[in-house]
Copies of this chain bind each other. A is one copy, B any other.
Amino acid sequence: MSSVVHVGLVGFGVVGTGLVQCLKRNRRQIEARAGIPIRIKTIADLDITTPRNADTTGIRMVTDAREILEDPEIDIVVELVGGTGFAHDLISRSLRAGKDVVTANKALLALRGHELFDLAAEKKRLLLFEAAVGGGIPIIQAMRTGVCSTEIERIYGILNGTANYILTRMEESNLDFERALIEAKAKGYAEADPTYDIEGHDTTHKLVLLSQLAYDCKIRFEEVHREGITRLTAFDLSTARELGYRIKLLAIAKKEGDRLEVRCHPVLIPLQSQLAAVSGVYNAVLIVGNPLGPVMFFGQGAGGDATGAAVAADLMEAARQIQRGPDRKNFYTFDHQEIRVKSIDDSVCAHYLRLVVEDRPGVIASVATALAEQSISIASIIQKERHESHQGVPVVITTHESPHSAMARALEKIGEMEFMADLPYSIRIEDFE
């Protein structure tokens, strides 16, 4: 074995720059704790001329990733190109070449990860991805170490900084979604096309990865029920607050026996809960397990610095294992549990319903009847003053627990009622500490 661990970095963007900075800045500490120096030998990127804010002295800069793949001295490949095509090919070929892999690519791992994890296990190589879920939050390594003795019953995650920033600003300043989105774009917190973040794709990718680790099983992205935050209004956020709740876009997993509920959507959560205090671009994951009880992890969800530090931590784990011998221990055992993902129709929740109606007699009676027909029990009804968010009179109904299917049928019927000024909208309520 060499006296240095050599790394090849593919993709020299924001996270790559953060990684190079971190390895340089904390070089002594990283070497002492990893037990061996970790050196980036080669960086491959199509653009190797634009200056980055990182010192690349002594690093070979190339435009073709094959120079990393075919270099027998390189022990670990860091994949930071993103996407699910070239990145898949790169990781697959790296593992086949006997190299360990570190990636931040949640979309790839969520959509095409199973074969890559199987390949890593077969080749006895590492495929590490701390940076893929909650950038600066060490949740992945924690799942493998400190919480690994506990049976995880529930996961609640705020995993997308863009969506959380938008929701925070909507509530703080009574902004409607579109206004808050414009502000997020201006601050650089939202992409020009924000679909991936605001429609919950990103959160769902991370949920797939977390759930697989937590429940030792394989989950397909398509099995996860997903709703975005685009239908939420300032009215919903302020009304939720009056009811003692805050609205967050949550990734949720719940295990009951051999059945798993996995869903990503806006949720009313108790205002006093630790998760409700997570504001702006921060992320957090609350795990409830047996016997560990509730544990929450909070930190930065993105950014080159935090994500670069997470990639560096994975490199240290790989470096430690490389020193232990020719094979690696992945710790991921996605196969050992027989778990089926539950249909969303069977998922049971309390709900907040926002109905915007024309102000006339009989409205409440009709709505209450439609709910009663589906055996949905009403917890409270609040008729509000007109609100700038909506053209009509908003009525908010909270219900006791009912299955998704019953609620969907009731909403369909209510939506057809002639006094409805807008489509009815329901948000799930989750109660926890």
What residues of chain A have their CB less than 8 Å away from a CB belonging to chain B? Answer: 18, 21-22, 25-26, 28-30, 32-33, 35, 130, 136-142, 144-151, 216, 274, 277-278, 289-300, 303, 305-306, 308-310, 312-313, 315-317, 320, 324-325, 329, 331, 333, 336
CA–CA, A148 and B29, complex, Å: 8
Report the minimum CB–CB distance from A272 to chain B (whole Å).
Answer: 8
When C-beta atoms are compared, the residue in chain B nearest to A134 turns out to be B295
Q: Are A216 and B306 in contact (CB under 8 A)?
A: no
Chain B hits for A296, CB < 8 A: 296-299
Q: Are B291 and A305 in contact (CB under 8 A)?
A: yes
When C-beta atoms are compared, the residue in chain B nearest to A324 turns out to be B324
Q: Are A298 and B300 in contact (CB under 8 A)?
A: no
Number of copies: 2
Q: Are A320 and B313 in contact (CB under 8 A)?
A: no
Chain B hits for A310, CB < 8 A: 146, 149, 292
CA–CA, A298 and B146, complex, Å: 13
Between A149, A291, A306, A331, the greatest number of chain B beta carbons within 10 A of the residue's beta carbon is seen for A149
CA–CA, A147 and B300, complex, Å: 13
Report the minimum CB–CB distance from A339 to chain B (whole Å).
Answer: 12
CA–CA, A423 and B273, complex, Å: 38
Q: Can you pick out 22 interface pairs between chain A and chain B where the beta carbons lie within 8 Å of each other?
A: A22-B291, A26-B151, A29-B149, A30-B149, A33-B144, A130-B146, A136-B293, A137-B295, A138-B142, A138-B295, A147-B313, A150-B309, A274-B277, A289-B309, A292-B310, A293-B305, A294-B298, A296-B296, A297-B297, A320-B331, A324-B324, A325-B325
CA–CA, A136 and B333, complex, Å: 24
CA–CA, A353 and B202, complex, Å: 48
CA–CA, A317 and B325, complex, Å: 17
